[in-house]
Amino acid sequence: MKCFRCGGPHKIAQCPEKPRDSTQSRSSLVTVQEEAPFVFLTENLDQHGLVIDGTSASPKQAGEEAWLTTTDVVRQGKAVIDGGATQSIGSVHALSQILELNEKKRGKDGLADLDMTDRPSFGFGNSSRDRCASTASLSVPMAGKESVLKVHALDCGEAPVLLSVHSLRKLGAIIDFEADLAVFRNISDRHVIRLERTTAGHQVFPLTEDAYEQSVKVAQQVPSLKTYL
């Protein structure tokens, strides 16, 4: 296992280094400014500036499963779908949990690559801005194969991974927000995936389990909406 802070062969909790400075100048590093203005999960303030949402989800219908809390999302190694984030981002705490779950389930941590120089700066909903400590490439099981998801690691707070609009476009995502259903056309345009929901009503996607194992295969291809124009 590699450390998201220093790249060493240990967990982040055992890292001898202090959190990497998010403000000092590094001319050799990636300095792209990204946005993650996501407002989510009412029960947990995060140290790096994600804003608390004062709204709540609509009342559960009979037979629906319990919604996930912030702690549940992180503990279960899942990502929150966030079309407002330009790039996928998550706390080193959440990323470390994903590696540990992968190790338990498949005997390998699923970290395909760790780039210590790719450190874009992100702006958040309260006008704060932080630079990431590193960028991880995670192996994510999808439809019986391994896909790679690039996630920027933020070395503060315990926020879950946010699945960005960039990642959703690559997947060819079509999402029904009312019914909590999704089709990722670039993976399969004949499988509909049921999405779980958080306590604030946002949808989540598993990163350590194959979402297609519980999907429903449909008789016809699900087309892009542009075919109706």
Residue 30 has pLDDT above 60, yes or no: no
Hey, which residues does 123 pair with through a beta bridge? 35, 129
> Long-range contacts for 40-44 (Cβ within 8 Å, ≥24 apart)?
40/80, 40/82, 40/198, 40/200, 40/202, 41/69, 41/70, 41/73, 41/80, 41/198, 41/199, 41/200, 41/202, 42/199, 42/200, 43/69, 43/70, 43/199, 44/69, 44/70, 44/71, 44/158
Average of pLDDT values for 79-91?
Answer: 91
Residue range 32-65, pLDDT digits in tens: 445 444 433 333 333 333 333 333 444 444 445 6
**Is there a contact between 138 and 78 (Cβ–Cβ < 8 Å)?**
no
pTM of the predicted model as reported, rounded to 2 decimal places: 0.78
Query: Which whole number is the average pLDDT over 223-227?
Result: 94
pLDDT in tens, 59-84: 444 445 678 998 999 999 999 999 88
Q: What pLDDT, on a 0 to 100 scale, did the predictor assign at position 59?
A: 44
Q: Which of 84-88, 102-106, 202-206, 213-217 has the lowest mean pLDDT?
A: 84-88
Indicate the pLDDT class of residue 121, thresholds 50, 70 and 90: confident
Of the ranges 22-26, 57-61, 80-84, 172-176, which is most confident?
A: 172-176
Q: DSSP code of 101? A: H
The amino acid at residue 101 is L
